[in-house]
Structure 1
Amino acid sequence: MTAFLGELGKKLAERSVTLLVLPGLLWVATVAIAARLGHRHALDPYRLSTWVDEFVKSTGSQTTRIVAVTAGILGFAAATGLAASWIGRLVERLWIIPGQRLPARWLTNARRKRWNTAHEKVAAAARAALSDGAVSAHAPDLAAATNACRKISPVPADRPTWIGDRLRGLDIRVSARYRIDLSAVWARLWFTLPDDARTELSAAHDSYTGAARLFGWATLYLVVGVWWWPAVVIATAAATAAWLQARSATATLADLAEAAVDLYGAELARKLGLNCPDRLTPALGEEMTKLLRKDETLNPPA
């Protein structure tokens, strides 16, 4: 039995198992508590401890039963972890979907109205600063209005969520500055980046996917809340933490991706055989985009 538990501990130390099984074990334990306590005795520690004692006595020292129960619990926990990961991948898609269809269109229209109102305040503050020539006197008001507008969206709002607009803003900024289609250039740029830059980008992306996975766990805990109301509190806390982590990770990921273009875009151009002596220019970015898009496959020459 000691050898079995020791080997089990080694397996739980693996990263993939840690991400799936350990959170799954917590969820399985929550389900068991919910089934035992319910809403009426949700916070009754005596009832819970009595049930645990009965469970331990029922297993006794029968090694086979302990191994079977442990294996069943771990299997259920792993399956639950996979379900949370699947929900997380779905959440990632929902965060960045376009805002043309309902109900996403309702959210997009609401965010667009908020952004337009905030942008009007920015324009009003800028006009006030220019009208009397005292730009420095109006600088605090202009900065506050600009920050309020950026909190809604860094670009004109066109997605149901801030995350979608932040990632869309990355494409817009890179295209406006360098005339680069980031979707066509990114894979080649990735091979140009040094290891430390790729490590930072990977860490930011892992944080983003981890936030989506945490949102998946929040969904599963919300389901348990049907039988045990404290699970709703857990789900709310997890969902809030997931959203805050996702926003932070998205901002970091977008900033790092834009920095990668700024710092290594010229090097990519040189590796592609283009004439880029010092820095990336819009003309060179447009040429690089045309080269990597391979547009001739869609519009072959006559």
Structure 2
Amino acid sequence: MNAVIASLGGKLAERWLAGLALPGVVFVAVAAVAVRLGHAHWWDLWLLAREVDRLALGSPAPGTGSALLIVLGVVLASVVAATATQSLERLVLALWTQGWGRAGEAVTRRRRRRWHAAVARYEAALRDKARRLRSADGATGPLPDTQALARACDRIALTEPDRPTWIGDRMLATAVRVRACYDLDLAAAWPRLWLLLPEETRDPLALAQADFTAAARRVGWGLLYLALGLLWWPAAIIGLGLCVAGWRQGRGTVSVLADLVEAVVDLHVRALGAALGHPTDGTFGTADGQAVTVLLRKDR
């Protein structure tokens, strides 16, 4: 156990250093540049170089204590920035995956109307394509691009929207698909499924979850840089770039995570049923899913 704890502690320290401490030091450096240059001298590299020379050579015999105080100040400032980023990370994750209360209902209704309209166009194109292929004049003119219309639906949501964001609906789509295929409550089944998984199966899931969280953290750093843009406008450009990159990373990684979760259900749902006292000899069907869901919910 001591070896396991030591290994885990090393991994956590490495993750903290790479994900928070080093970006925090960079943010503190940019903040120092922003405070010194401001909007009026945002381009003045000579002024910045003179400031660096003054700090390095300003004292004829800088003491070790002064140097330690400077280093300590930088470390503390980077820790404060990293702590603020962790709070923003949790906020971004909540905005991506939660419902936003009343404010989100209007956004969700709008997304739902757009999705239904896109689905109607897709289904109409399917009917038109089938009719033209059956008719004698089906070769006249190009057929409807049903694949493009299907992708347009998926860009809004894979299933009927129930969250203000595409990312939130992408995770819910997995539960909807599992319910449709097995009639299984994924929220109730997932903790038990996780306990049944071997280590080599958990690792990709943990990695995908870490990547998704890192995307939210990148947006958190972007928000801090946007705030720094009030003092030095180039920082706002950096922040906007980080927010866009984090958002795109979040959309990609949540798809990977949702696909992995669905794959785990497909491959291990029979083992879950057997562990709960409901073994199946053949295909795991909706009747089995209903029975397992009753066991999981402890319904009477």
- Relative to the length of structure 2, the TM-score reads 0.89
Is residue 152 of structure 1 aligned with residue 153 of structure 2? no
Percent same amino acid at aligned positions?
Answer: 39
Is residue 230 of structure 1 aligned with residue 253 of structure 2? no
Which letter maps to 1:49? A
- CA gap of 1:227–1:114, structure 2 versus 1, over 3 A, is same
CA positional deviation for 1:268 = 1.4
Is residue 111 of structure 1 aligned with residue 111 of structure 2? yes
Q: Is the 8 A contact 1:184 1:293 kept in 2?
A: yes
Is residue 204 of structure 1 aligned with residue 208 of structure 2? yes
Where has structure 1 moved over 3 Å in runs of 4 or more? 10-13, 58-61, 132-140
Which letter maps to 2:273? A
- The residue aligned with 1:249 is 253
- The residue aligned with 2:193 is 189
What does the per-residue CA deviation read over 1:213-268, in whole Å, with 9 as the maximum and x for residues that have no partner? Answer: 11111111011000100011001100000000000011000000000000111111
Distance in 2, Cα, partners of 1:179 & 1:11: 39
- The residue aligned with 2:67 is 66
Distance in 1, Cα, partners of 2:12 & 2:57: 26
- CA gap of 1:95–1:273, structure 2 versus 1, over 3 A, is same
- The residue aligned with 1:83 is 84
Distance in 2, Cα, partners of 1:238 & 1:204: 20
SS at match of 1:208: helix
CA positional deviation for 1:116 = 2.0
**Number of paired residues?**
286
CA positional deviation for 1:12 = 11
CA positional deviation for 1:11 = 12
Which letter maps to 1:76? A
Distance in 2, Cα, partners of 1:172 & 1:191: 22
Larger mean CA deviation between 241-250 and 195-204 belongs to 195-204
Q: Is the 8 A contact 1:218 1:239 kept in 2?
A: yes
- The residue aligned with 2:121 is 121
- CA gap of 1:12–1:169, structure 2 versus 1, over 3 A, is closer
- CA gap of 1:22–1:99, structure 2 versus 1, over 3 A, is closer
Which letter maps to 1:91? V
Q: Is the 8 A contact 2:97 2:165 kept in 1?
A: yes
CA positional deviation for 1:140 = 6.3
The equivalent position to 1:271 in structure 2, one of 272, 275, 299, is: 275
Distance in 2, Cα, partners of 1:153 & 1:240: 20
- CA gap of 1:99–1:142, structure 2 versus 1, over 3 A, is farther
CA positional deviation for 1:115 = 1.3
Identify unmatched segments of 5+ residues in structure 2.
1-9
- The residue aligned with 1:299 is none
CA positional deviation for 1:139 = 7.3
What does the per-residue CA deviation read over 1:141-178, in whole Å, with 9 as the maximum and x for residues that have no partner? Answer: 11111111111110112211100111111111001110
Q: 1:28-107 residue pairs with structure 2 within 5 A?
A: 28-58=28-58, 60-98=61-99, 101-102=102-103, 104-107=104-107
- The residue aligned with 1:287 is 291
Distance in 2, Cα, partners of 1:161 & 1:131: 36
- CA gap of 1:259–1:113, structure 2 versus 1, over 3 A, is same
Larger mean CA deviation between 105-114 and 36-45 belongs to 105-114
Q: Is the 8 A contact 1:99 1:108 kept in 2?
A: no
CA positional deviation for 1:107 = 2.2
Q: Is the 8 A contact 1:99 1:158 kept in 2?
A: no
Query: Alignment RMSD, CA only?
Result: 2.2
CA positional deviation for 1:15 = 2.1
